[in-house]
Copies of this chain bind each other. A is one copy, B any other.
Amino acid sequence: MDIRELEYFVTVSELKNFTAAAHKLHISQPAISKAIHKLEEELGFQLLDRTQKKVLLTEEGVVFLSLAEDILARMAAAQNTMIEYKNLTRGTFRIAVPPLLGAYVFPQLFADFKKNYPSLEMSVIEDGSSTAVDLVQQEDVHVGLVILPPTLTDLHSHLITSQEIVVCLPTDHPLSRQSFLTFEQLKDEPIILYNEGFVLRRIILDEYAKYGLVPRVALSTNQFQTIKALVAKGVGISFLPKNSIKVVNHVTKIPLHPHLFLEMGLIWKPNKILPLACKAFIDFVNEFEYVK
């Protein structure tokens, strides 16, 4: 019992004529005859009554017709669904986005991507960049939009933008008038950091360590807003990408000396076959120009 046979049978049933069905299906009439006979042979009884001039359905034929039509409809529906995936008018993928990037790189990226592919869905998992890397590694997500860690084991990556990290401190802080700051100058300041699992925390602590310093961490959080608010309140100083904070009352941004940069980009697992929607996203990001 073959899809083609069902198709032939349904067409003959519709047209009540073998020859007409053959024309419609662009094959010869004997091909139809053969297929119908094969079907009837297999089922063990006649589906069509050819004793009259017109071809008529037998009672069993009527039953089989409705079953065949249902199967063909579902077959067509399945094909359509898959064509939608192929055409990128349907599809989902999972992306890990740390809050920091979620706050200012991702929205622009996402909006532009949606403009091009309005039907594609993204499932966003928010977590720190370090965790995001693990999620990609374990294939829990397909891609990660992360602060690129210094060492990338065996993942592919694409740099989207590079941001300078600046010191954030309360406007009334004694150091807030400087045009730049060194870690030496900041060594006794209480600092506010992201939690473990966030690359930015790692980077800052590593920088301190470079100068043989161990900062006093006043508090750590995974909330970007919390960090900014705490700095404004004078709880401590912090380090954030220059553009992540546009204008915040009572917070001053001062560059570090030497300058410290943060690279942000997309990572994914090579060799792993990704959803077409995700491939489209990676391709899109490759073309994407981030406007600071």
Contacts and interface: CB of A to CB of B under 8 A. Distances in A.
A59 B272 contact: no
Interface string A67-106: 1101100110111011001100001110000000000000
A59 B3 contact: no
Nearest to A62: B275
Interface residues of A, number: 36
A116 interface: no
A194 to B, nearest CB: 31
Nearest to A57: B273
A248 interface: no
B67 A71 contact: no
A275 B46 CA distance: 9
Contact of A273 (B51, B67, B92): B51
Nearest to A51: B271
A44 B271 contact: no
Interface in A123-179: none
A9 to B, nearest CB: 12
Contacts of A59: 91-93, 274-275
A21 to B, nearest CB: 19
A45 interface: yes
B86 A75 contact: no
A64 interface: yes
A43 B272 contact: no
A202 to B, nearest CB: 30
Given A44-B86, A85-B63, A71 B68 contact: no
A121 to B, nearest CB: 11
A2 interface: yes
B46 A82 contact: no
A272 B60 contact: no
A291 interface: no
Nearest to A2: B3
A91 B67 CA distance: 15
Given A1-B78, A60-B82, A63-B85, 13 more contacts: A3-B3, A49-B272, A49-B273, A51-B272, A59-B275, A60-B85, A63-B81, A64-B82, A67-B78, A68-B78, A71-B71, A71-B74, A74-B74
Interface of A: 1-3, 43-46, 49, 51, 58-60, 63-64, 67-68, 70-71, 74-75, 77-79, 81-82, 85-86, 91-93, 271-276
16 contacts: A1-B79, A2-B3, A3-B3, A44-B86, A46-B273, A51-B272, A58-B275, A59-B93, A59-B274, A59-B275, A60-B82, A63-B82, A63-B85, A64-B82, A67-B77, A74-B74
